[in-house]
Amino acid sequence: MAKKKSKPDSPSGEDSEITVEAAMSELSDIVGLLESGQAPLEESLQQFERGMKLLRRCHAILDAAAGANRTGDSPDRRRLRRNDRL
């Protein structure tokens, strides 16, 4: 398996734009790498940290979707309300 570089930390960058599907796919790759035991310790730790960030991002997306579902609110409705105020 080819080495996969850890992505840089970017709380307001690409991680804030990643979809649940993309995060889950990357998490699957990370789990495969870690389970293989082929990565050096330092890279394994970096990948583990990256996986935890992706997991937190997935939780945030899903929590937001659940909250929007409970309130009848959605990202599209919020966007429309913001546009109405402009």
Which of 43, 42, 62 is CA-nearest to residue 1? 43
What share of the chain has pLDDT > 90, as a percent? 49
Cβ contact 57:27 at 8 Å: no
Q: Mean pLDDT throughout 40-65? A: 95
* Rounded CA separation 3/38 (Å): 9
Distances (CA, A) of 63 to 12, 36, 43, 83, 84: 18, 31, 30, 24, 26
DSSP code, position 16? G
Q: Which residues contact 45 (CB under 8 A, 6 or more apart)?
A: none
Does the predicted TM-score (pTM) go above 0.75? no
pLDDT digits (tens, 9 = 90+) for 31-45: 999 999 999 999 999
